[in-house]
Structure 1
Amino acid sequence: MQNKVILVILDGLNYHVAHDCMGYLQGLIEQKRAALYQLQSELPSLSRPLYECLLTGVTPTQSGIVSNNVIRLSHYDSIFSLAKQQNRVTAAAAYHWVSELYNRAPYDAVRDRVTHDESLNIQHGCFYHWDHYPDEALILDGDYLRRQYQPDFLLFHPMNIDDMGHKFGLDSSEYRNTARHIDVILSHFIDNWLEDGYQILITSDHGMNNDKSHGGILECERAVPLFVIGEQFSQHDAPIKQTEICGLVCQLLGLEHEKPYPQGVLTS
């Protein structure tokens, strides 16, 4: 099995808001073109530790990336490094913390905001450092990378849902409407991505609470969605851990790896 893969991390998206508000993705499920799983985030339920978890399969307490203030390169094999080592093309449109984990730390906006360097783990990148950077612009950045470089692995990582959660809290129209907005944006791109041969995973790092924050053990902070779209997914009920997303992507890419991955999610 050797596929191209798009991973979308919708920062700060709570599972129940995803389930209730994302009508396009739910429409794909009703048509049996997609499936939705509920995952529990690892702890602490914070962004940088969980980017590392999603992209390496290593929990925060194991990786040492235990807060958003740990600014250094990852010490573990990631989807990016494994793909690059095995001569696959990598790309990301993402928050600058992703660049700091897998390319260069600390982030230098002049040097790193637009990256094209085949020696790096993320060979082609459009990185941003504003939490309010529009989701629509981020998706356009990533789609430019797709069309220009045809990466085998492409990460999209928009931030507006998390930003609205920190400003207005979980139980707010602003937070829910931002989830609805990215659902509409994705509806204009997903068919093109599928036609271009990609298998698609859409998930989140963590959820949100009514204190306008996250980081603890509340269900609203830890429950996150995983939508899977593409012919390689079985659409059967199966337990999936957040630490298994990395291995699942590696399996789809056909990489040699030692990452844990879920059973019963793929067709073969």
Structure 2
Amino acid sequence: MKLMIDGIITNYCNEPDGVKMGLRIKKEQRGVVFAFVACILIGVGAELIAIQGFISFQATNPIMTIEEEGMRKFETNISEKVIVIVVDGMRIDQALWSEYYRELWNMSANGIMEVGIPSYSYPGWTVLSTGAWQETTGVTSNWYDEQVNVETIYNALNRSGKRSGVFGATGWKTICGKGMSGVFFRDWKDDPKVDDVTAESAYRALLANEYDYYLIHFQDLDEMNHKYGALSSESRGSMEHIAKLTKDVLNVANLSCTTVIITSDHGHIDKGGHGGTEWIATHVPIMIFGKGVKKGMNVIKGEQVDVVPTVSFLLSAYIPSSCQGVALVDGFDVPDRVKAKALIENCMQLKDFADKYTSALNAQAPSTMQIDSAQETLNINATQSIIHSRSYIRENRKCCEDARQNAIDKERPVKQALAILIGLSIPIGAISYLGAKLGVKKNLGILSKYLAKYIPVVVVSAVMHMAIFYIIFLSMGSTFSMSMIESEVSVLVYVPIASVSTIGGVITSLALFDIPRKKWAWYSVASVFGIQYSLLLQALVMLYNWGIVFTWYVPDINMGVKYFLDMQQIFGSGLGAALIGITIVLMNAKIVRS
């Protein structure tokens, strides 16, 4: 038996039964095979570029690798001990599910705190350990596995003669372990009852009076949110259990000399994950109670970076050098002069940070006039001093933001030119190649004829691909949000969808234009190229505005997710091209006996 394609039989191989089989593609068909292979390679290349762009912002920030120690230290000791309890993934509504947490809420200075972007766990833990945003530390994902290059609160406390104990997931030590005096780490994946063991370890440490600062991290709620949804009965049960563990731990804490802060690393959407810009994912509860706190006051309107300087304020400690937050002094029942003095010290630390930041970006540092005014009025009118400090904080942040934006704008023209060049070079190159093959110099009409035949089919294929893909995408409840990317491989679910969409788009276009079977091969190749090019144009929007490799700033992450999804689709369309190519080869093959 022989396998014949269009009547040509070669490359025989002997089978055990003596039957010969062979396969050869006509010379004129080899171009089709090469073209399909090119589509596949384009898809693979797009996948590699997308992955590199996604993981590029990790500890590569050349601007803010500041490991030196902070020089500014709060003078007044407000509390003897501080306990920070981080309930992983706790939303604002979940914080009030249990009766015990509602009691704590009513007796605390409480409010809502905004977290940074991306709103993942590792980035949140880093913010709660350094007081620096994700863009400063370089920790923007949950698969970061190095020590951060900025000073941690644990190191600052250690320099202040204070001991810190951390109880929770191993990631805390992996990325922020410098300066920790004592640790207990275990992950939920290794022990679903880890919160019980964590609470027991913290309980014993408190009983033995081992540390000045305790950070206790409960993991189970986040796991339940991911697995069953944030509004599920499993999440509610987890929150109730965490409340019981919290009560057990705090039963041995002397609140007459201890201040407790309860908050979360991030929120959580109803179904799915977190990491994106959704309000429910980027806003978390915070309650502070115990020594020196205003009871039952809804006064906190802060940011996640404010927790670290608040801990330094309470324990009269140094402020980490890269801290970008402000101590939440309004939540404490202390004299205005104490608040004013603390804010001045905080402003001086922010000044140190801004000086380095703006210098690295070749920008002007913020004026210190408001700090000078705050110092001048400190002993005369503490309230006025506080106003001056608040004014400086606003000016400081605006100055840093303007410097950042100006630096990005200076880099943008090169990226824009590159995006335009890539976008234009592909169709120009394709038309030039086709023209050379057809002898366009002799007859431009030949090229026009081919383009008139192929372009409508290609356009319809691209439109149908997009329609099919996004119908499936939206029906899955997906959005252009980092909250749908829960791991390195989770986004790969969209690759087979893109393959199906490409195949569907090509088949629909071939049928709509009634393309003869003998011409399916080249029309299919052109259609896949068209689909990939349309996706590339969409991906180039990211390059045009932000680039695709980020060394010192976090881009628009929603646009980044769209870019990543477009590149995944290019990869999927390449796989679809492979299936289309194989199918066409088999359809043109026929088996004959010899």
User: Which structure has the highest strand share of the two?
Assistant: 1
The equivalent of 1:152 in structure 2 is 212
Residue matched to 1:55? 129
Other-structure match for 1:36: 110
1:130 to 173, 183, 188: 188
SS in 2 for 1:62: helix
> Take 1:23 and 1:218, find their aligned partners in 2: how far apart are those partners?
27
8 Å Cα contact 1:238-1:263 kept in structure 2: no
Instruction: Indicate the structure (1 or 2) with the bigger Cα radius of gyration.
Output: 2
**Residue 74 of structure 1: how far off its partner (Å):** 1.7
Q: What number of residue pairs does the alignment pair up?
A: 249
Distance 2:155 2:113 in 1: 25
Decide which structure has greater helix share: 2
RMSD (CA atoms) = 1.8
Q: Which runs of 5+ in 2 are unaligned?
A: 1-75, 335-594
2:82 matched to 1:14?
A: no
Q: How does 1:142-181 map to 2 (within 5 A)?
A: 142-181=202-241
Residues 23-71 of structure 1: CA distance to partner in whole angstroms, max 9, x if unpaired? 11212344xx323211121110100011011121111122100111111
1:223 and 2:283 equivalent? yes
The answer to whether residue 146 in structure 2 is matched with residue 72 in structure 1 is yes
Distance in 2 of aligned mates of 1:148 and 1:190: 14
SS at 2:208 equivalent: helix
Q: In 2, distance between residues paired with 1:170 and 1:210?
A: 5
What does residue 24 of structure 1 align with?
Answer: 100
Name 1:102's counterpart in structure 2. 176
Residues 179/74 of structure 1: CA separation in 2 closer, same or farther (3 Å cut) = same
Q: Is the 8 A contact 2:123 2:139 kept in 1?
A: yes
1:265 aligns with 2:331: yes
Deviation at residue 136 of structure 1 after TM alignment: 1.9
Residues 123 and 196 (structure 1), Cα distance of their counterparts in 2 relative to 1, 3 Å cut: farther
Gap regions ≥5 residues in structure 1: 104-119
Counterpart check, 1:256 vs 2:330: no
- Aligned partners of 1:34, 1:267: CA distance in 2, in Å? 12
The answer on whether the counterparts of 1:44 and 1:215 sit within 8 Å (CA) in structure 2 is yes
Amino acid at match of 1:261: A
- For the 8 Å contact 1:136–1:185, the answer to whether it is kept is yes
Contact 2:258 2:291 in 1 (8 A): no
Tell whether the 8 Å contact from 1:8 to 1:157 is kept in structure 2 after alignment: yes
Amino acid at match of 1:128: R
Secondary structure of 1:194 counterpart: coil
- In the TM superposition, what whole-angstrom CA distance separates every residue of 1:95-146 from its partner, at most 9, and x where no partner exists? 101011233xxxxxxxxxxxxxxxx611111111334243222111112222
- Cα distance in 2, alignment partners of residues 10 and 164 from structure 1: 12
Report deviation, 1:195: 4.7
Note the alpha carbon deviations across 1:174-226, whole angstroms, 9 max, x for none: 11221121112222332421357321001000111233311101122122111
Secondary structure of the structure 1 residue equivalent to 2:111: strand
Partners of 1:170 and 1:221 lie apart in 2 by 11
User: Using the alignment, how far apart are the partners of 2:332 and 2:150 within structure 1?
Assistant: 25
Larger CA deviation: 183-192 vs 38-47? 183-192
Higher relative contact order (CA 8 A, sep 6+): 1
CA distance in 2, matches of 1:123, 1:266: 27
Q: Percent sequence identity over matched residues?
A: 21
CA distance in 2, matches of 1:266, 1:223: 22
| Alignment partners' CA distance in 2, 1:171 and 1:28 | 22
